[in-house]
Structure 1
Amino acid sequence: MLIFVDAPLAERHKSTLAAGAAGDSFIFRDELPGESEQREALLKADILLGNPKPVEWLEKAVNLQWIQLYSTGFEYYRHIKIPAVVTNMQDYYSQPCAETAIAGILSLYRGAGEFAALKNKQQWVGHIIRPALQTLQNKHVIILGAGNIARRIEKILQGFDCTIRLYARRSPNAVIRTTTELEAALPAADIVIACLPGTEETKGLFTREMIAALKHNAIFCNVGRGNLLADEQALTEALMHRRIGGAVLDVTQEEPLPAGHPLWSCPNTVLSQHSGGGSTSEYEGIVACFLENLAAFKNGIPLKNIVRFDKGY
């Protein structure tokens, strides 16, 4: 098999791939000199490990039998028509994403950003900040979604004795099922955490009216997809004018977020730059998942984490 790898792997990861797939040939995109050579290599490949761009290359990659994405999201490839089976990482990033959400919320509640700024200025004003610090305990939380990330977040929040309600249209674990019910529930929420996948159903789901419904000290957190917000400017305005308590945003509508974008200047805002799924062992796990699926592929065994384009996950 000829395997094209379009992923930011270190040399140790490449060595692990070579050792785990004896008899197969690997071509690594980052070792090729230019786009023409990279595209040519992809068009020859039987298997792809990675998330190639431009995505249009895949339309010509008729030799591909299987694509293993190293992400959970696959919206960039949703409309590409190729015969290859596509797998993703599904639950792999759920725990770090959940911890990113909770870490961001706690940093706002416990003043971590303000203390970091004071440290840089070597200024001691702890007695002034103390009355403004909040705790996560007993907070009322609405989680948008009922999938893997949502369940991990829910489990963590249970340790803080939070009241938790899930929004999802079809999940039996959800108690909020319609956008009308969601908008009615928002004024009571201390925290709203979004971890919905990027589908046509979720695009623009969280509206300007929903942002306006949040109470003055509510925190909005998004570790799902940036296009969940129908109007990102409405969130920016709410933060700038301190009409809500803060935001934790792992994702935004435009990525990378350009210099000068208003979100960079918003108070009480944590921007984790779509790194919520990162960890020290991230790519070791990706390589291990690929090799496990490669063995299954060669032996005619069903692959893990097959993408269901019709369902959006």
Structure 2
Amino acid sequence: MAKRETAMIIYIDTPFKEEQKTLLRSTLKADELIFKDELPSDDERLSSLLKADILLGNPKPVDWLQQAQNLKWLQLYSTGFEYYSGVKIPAVVTNMKAYYAQPCAETIVAGIMALYRGIDKYDTLKSQGRWVGYQAREKLQLLFQKKVIILGAGGIAKHLGNILSGFDCGVTFFARSAGEATLHTIEDLEKAIPDADIIIGTLPGTKETAGLFTTAMINKMNADALFCNIGRGNLVEDEAVLIDALITGKIGGAVLDVTAREPIPEGHPLWDCPNTILTQHSGGGSTTEYDGIAAFFLENLERFKQGNRLKNVVDLAKGY
């Protein structure tokens, strides 16, 4: 990649607050920065996107990006990019890779702990002004030494493994070829499921992972087991089967950051599922989320201008 001396037109489709905008403006005085949320109409947004050299964000609709044939580099602010699968643009594409791994891992562990220690029920009792006290104790469980299967062996999975090791959990990873995994096939996974206390999905949304967690697997879970998902909602082959298992008590509960439909519509049965924590695809969030995105972009932008290889290059066609 050749070194670039000229000023860049940078279109920013990321919901930054004023502090991140100020940082970018003060750092990139020679470049033209165009913030999507400061443009009054879709026509102006599309026009700005099409003339940009660099795009920071996840633009929608998809056909806007398809038209962006002037782009040299697209920096997504997400890890996942299946929304853009098959889009053909001349730009180098980069994502945030494992940036969200720690908050996602903490979200799932927090949800598990909430179920095991009855925090969700205590919060309901608080809103009702009801005291149950001692009688609740015998239903509380421990995360300590639970058997956990993690679907995936990427950044989130590794962070989860680190956290769960502090609870002396037995952690087994499922992945096709990753060295950390000991479960490599669907048959291996199906055999392991009946002994698992917790199953956690961390897989990205690809053709290979869609529907990977099948109805047969749900039916193999033991009655106290938890199903958790922090990857993509389409991991579950049939969400209605999972919902039925939760409502009828065939499994112990669920922690779901992602679901088949998002937002979950009003009246959807998931809202009333017992022993279910819904974190509404917020698992990667933190108070410093957008500060980190801005900092990473500036680091990668310096690489771009110097003609060096960018960090976190991905292939929209391949899905990784």
State TM-score, norm by structure 1: 0.99
Pairing 1:94–2:95 present: no
Unpaired runs of 5+ residues, structure 2, are: 1-7
CA distance in 1, matches of 2:27, 2:264: 38
Count of aligned positions: 313
CA distance in 2, matches of 1:244, 1:112: 19
2:258 equivalent in structure 1:
251
Deviation at 1:108, TM superposition (A): 0.2
Residue pairs, 1:274-313, within 5 angstroms = 274-309=281-316, 311-313=318-320
SS at match of 1:49: strand
Pairing 1:270–2:277 present: yes
Instruction: Letter of the 1:34 partner, please give it.
Output: S
1:39 equivalent in structure 2:
46
1:210 equivalent in structure 2:
217
CA distance in 2, matches of 1:254, 1:300: 41
2:114 equivalent in structure 1:
107
Of residues 82, 91, 103 in structure 2, which corresponds to 1:75?
82
Unpaired runs of 5+ residues, structure 1, are: none
RMSD over aligned CA atoms reads 0.8
Instruction: Letter of the 1:35 partner, please give it.
Output: D
How high is the sequence identity, in percent, across the aligned residues?
Answer: 58
CA distance in 1, matches of 2:133, 2:158: 36
CA distance in 1, matches of 2:127, 2:66: 51
Pairing 1:168–2:175 present: yes
Pairing 1:148–2:126 present: no
Q: Deviations over 1:23-45 (max 9, x none)?
A: 00111111111111111111111
Deviation at 1:312, TM superposition (A): 2.6
Instruction: Letter of the 1:7 partner, please give it.
Output: T
> Which structure's relative contact order is higher, taking Cα pairs within 8 Å and 6+ residues apart?
2
Residue pairs, 1:10-89, within 5 angstroms = 10-89=17-96
Instruction: Letter of the 1:303 partner, please give it.
Output: L
Instruction: Letter of the 2:128 partner, please give it.
Output: K
SS at match of 1:38: helix
SS at match of 1:235: helix
CA distance in 2, matches of 1:35, 1:242: 48
Structure 1 residue ranges, 4+ long, deviating more than 4 angstroms after superposition = none
Deviation at 1:310, TM superposition (A): 5.4
Deviation at 1:22, TM superposition (A): 2.1
CA distance in 1, matches of 2:74, 2:136: 51
